[in-house]
Chain A
Amino acid sequence: MIPAAFEYFSPTSVDEALGLLREHDDAKVLAGGQSLMPALRLRLAAPEVIVDIQKIDELHGVRDDGDALVIGAMTPHSTVQSDPLVSEHARLISLATATVGDPQVRHRGTFGGSLAHADPAADLPAVAVALDASFVIAGADGRRTVPATEFFQGMFSTAVGEDELLVEVRVPKYTGWGAHYEKFNRVAQAWSIVSVAAAVRLDGDSIAEARVGLGNMGPAPVRATAVEAALVGQPATAEAVREAAARAADGTSPGSDLNGDADYRRHLATVLTRRAVLAAAGTA
């Protein structure tokens, strides 16, 4: 199908984009368009105005900012996936990004676009909560920074207001940490039924720190804090990790759908968490 008609703008600065968003009530931001375009074509979305932010230079690229990496919202997945800084300091992001969509989608789809879309079954939100990423949002009163736990507010819902724009994402450095992204789906291209993003820092043979994020275990990504706490000080053995991973579904409220009911998802979360943490420890 063909999208419903809309008015199109292609601003070249963040301020210009914000002005357009304030000026138009029913405006939608177009990043890489790999979720929005299918929605427009199926007429699940029919905004009156599209603000295409591709030509805003400052939104592109990855940079080193001391203790953190800064990933511009419009950086395509294919760039993030092969970026040496990301690979060195936030390997979990490289691994998860390599599983997003398919190669064509990764050439167009963007890091910020995927996060701002906040699909519960997407790959990057679980990674963002696991790594304590923070989100820089521009609005009329300047820029504010929101932690990942507050950024994701529900299904397709984030802290980005109607007249605001996600500019960049700051990720603390996890240099030397092991990482693994484990996603469970039926076939190529399918959404995750459940996904687990894990990063582990070892001290000798035991786990000194762990970060675990869960995808599609509720309307927003979840940080598995009970698992993280249980892992600290434990040896990175199958038995110890299995015991800690048994708490993966604590406090979650996953939905039921054709791919699996809530109990199945809770079970899956424990299995995938065990696999992800063990694999992450193996690469640390």
Chain B
Amino acid sequence: MTAIVEERQETIKEIVTDILEIDPDEVTETSLFKEEHDADSLRAIEILAALEKEFNVVINQSELGRMVNLKGVYQVVSEAAGW
């Protein structure tokens, strides 16, 4: 894995754990925000908005359905940013 990819993943993880108010150790690539970390639709929008700002991209709200865990978020942001 290249350094840049790792850095991006780390930034995304920071944003998500900060908004969900959870310890970074609690979240894995595939742990589910809603079911395992008490997220709701409003938190999901907060995450989406923070990602748009951080990476200067536009993410359609219809993508929220895929943004259920860190893996899904990374995929969606990659596509939006053309990484």
Indicate, yes or no, whether A interacts with B: no
